[in-house]
Each structure stands twice: as C-alpha cells, then as structure tokens.
Structure 1
Amino acid sequence: MSRLWKSMSGTTQAIDVINGGVKSNALPEQAFAVINHRIGIDSSSSAVESRDTSLLLPLAQEFNLTFTAFGELVSDPSSTSSAGKLSLDYLPTRRPLEPAPVTPLDSNAFGLLAGTIRSTFDTHRRLNESSDEKKNEVFVAPGMPTGNTDTRFYWKLSKNIFRYKHHHSKSSAHTIDEFIELDSYLEMIRFYMTLILNSDEARDI
C-alpha cells in the first residue's frame, strides 16, 4: 500500500508546531510541540491517548521527569528528585473528536451522488463520444477520509453524509500559492449545478 493511501485508511500523526527557547546561546527552559492526529475509523481517541502516553513514558523515565498525561499522573520519580516535568494534553480550545459514522452505501442518496459524478464526467469530458465506452467507463467507489471536523454538526441530522469534491487535476491547497486549473474549476461548477438539480427532482432520498 502506498504512503498516500495508507495515510487515508488509518490514524495519522503530524507534529505541526514546535517551539522553545528565547536566545541562540541559551538552552530553553521550556519547550512544547503540537501533534495533530486524524483518527482512523477503526480506532478511537482513547486508543490514540494510550499510544501517545506509552511512547512518551520511556523518555520520562530515562530523563527522570514527572510525567502527566491527560490529567493523570503517569510517572513520578519518587526515589530521586525530579529533573523536570513532561505534560501531555489537549489544547485548551480543542477536544477529542471521534471518527465519523460510516455512511450506508445501499442508500438512494449514495446512488444519486454516484450518478451525478458519472454524469458530470461524461458530459464535461465527452467520455461517451469515444468508440470504446468500456475503456472510459467511470466507477464510483466509496472512501473514508479522516478529516471529519465539520461533519460532527450533521451526525444527528442524517446518516447520509458525503465528503466529496469533484476535483481531478493539479492543484495546491493550504499553502501560499493555492491554485486550481481552470478546466477543473469549471467542471466543479458543472458538478454542483447538476447535483442541486438532481436533488431537487429526487423524491426518494
């Protein structure tokens, strides 16, 4: 399995912020790091907490640190004086978010979405004009992205929650030079227009 698909099918970890020290000629008295996890659907926040705690515990013991994880005292060097403190916890403004529920694939809602995707591909890219239709046939397969920050607001509203963007070209996001190719942008507009019209006409979703 490629690294890309592996990161989309399980829990990920990224150390996004590291800070410590105030001068170039003095060791920092304090340091901190912010770790971002996207939890896979086969895991939970408690499992991630246990893993992170178990990874840091040997370091706390090696360097004689008092270790506190998520409000609980994990390691306290009682035999000798502590050389410092190590704390593991959530940011004050963030709380753990469990993986999103899995959307059923045998629903009419998924059928409408899949049909809209195929229709947009066929229309925008003229796939049906090819003499070899089998070669250009589009298959819609489900996936499970781990970034589910916004979906939590809809969990009690519907079990049919789809995170999909009709975007299939070179692009760059979350950086200083974000861009998207013009043809792909126009295809996205066509997709959302078709989705709105199809949803308006549907009576069984």
Structure 2
Amino acid sequence: WASLEAVPRQRRRGGGQGNSAETAAAAYEKLDAWMRDSVVEIVKNLREAPLLVNVYGKGSRDEKPWIETEKGVEEENWEVLRRKWEGGVAPFPDGVIFVEELMDDDEGEGDRNRDGDGITRAWGLVVQGKGEECGPACYLLKTSKVKAGSGCGLGMGLGCTHFCLVRVNSFRETAQSQLKNCWLLQALQAQAQ
C-alpha cells in the first residue's frame, strides 16, 4: 500500500531490520500467516468490497492477529484513513490487506461465471506490513457461492461459499489461469506421492 510508507517513521512501531534473505523470508511468512488468519473474515465481508483489513499484532488467546475490517473503502478514502493513523485517532496497524473484485477487461462484468444458482468471482488482494523489510505481496481469491435448491433449506435462502486463496506467481498470467494452474499443480503433487 503506497501511502503506508508516507506515514512518518516515528509514528510506526518497529521498523526496518536490514534486508537479509532471512528477514525477507520471515516477512513473507508473516504475510502468509496474516492471509490464512484473515481469509474467512474477508470472505464473510466480500458483499461490501472493496475492503481494507487492518492487522494488529497477535491476540492474547490464540496467537492470531486481531483484525478490523473497513468496508466499502474506495481509493479516494485512503488519505482519510492515513490521517486517522497519523493523528492518533486510530491505532497504526502492523499491516493492511486491500481486497477488490477483479474485472475481466474482455467482458466488462468481472470474472463472474453463473452456473444455475451459483456465482464464481475472482478477487485481488494486496497485503503489506509495516517496515522496509515487509514489502507488498499479492494474492488471488476465488469464491464460488452456491444457494441451496428449492427442495433444500425450505426456501430460507441458505447456501455456502467455497474459496481458494493463492499467492500471485506472475503478473503476465491471468488470474483465472493462475487459479486453475494452482488446482492442477495440487492434483499432480498428490498423484506423485
């Protein structure tokens, strides 16, 4: 998140610890852990995307970070959030995750596939921690929402959402291709074992 670096260094907790390979690997492990710990909350709030998830340290009970989700956060509102952090109105997060639906340029309606009562969508996620050693990482999230049929759930609108989260490997390959290849790679690895 570009404006994260715009906050004066004295307002940040922690800071840069060098740029060694070990430090970078630890930073990416931390970002991956934040994504694993936050993805269920993110999926629950996708109806109100774009989202900005603030990640704060570790919780006292289960060693997972405390997260706070800002809903409907458009890019034009980022400056307001940054001023809240600078002014001490809101605590400065240890990291942020920005979530936005990906649009397919060819169709103009997004990466949505409708299959009966189901809807599949692709989402782009950017996560960044504070400090020079914790640069941004990009992820793809695929959600498939299925509503229960008229014979199930007695018409109560029940359904479920399945999701798949994968780290972006290439910005030259499409999101759908990377999500598809992730599943193919997992199947090949399972056969090899």
Could you say which TM-score interval applies, normalised by the shorter chain?
Answer: under 0.3
Q: TM-score, normalised on structure 2?
A: 0.26
Q: TM-score, normalised on structure 1?
A: 0.25
- Higher-RCO chain (CA-CA 8 Å, sequence separation at least 6): 2
Q: Which has the larger radius of gyration?
A: 1
> Which has a greater percent of strand?
2
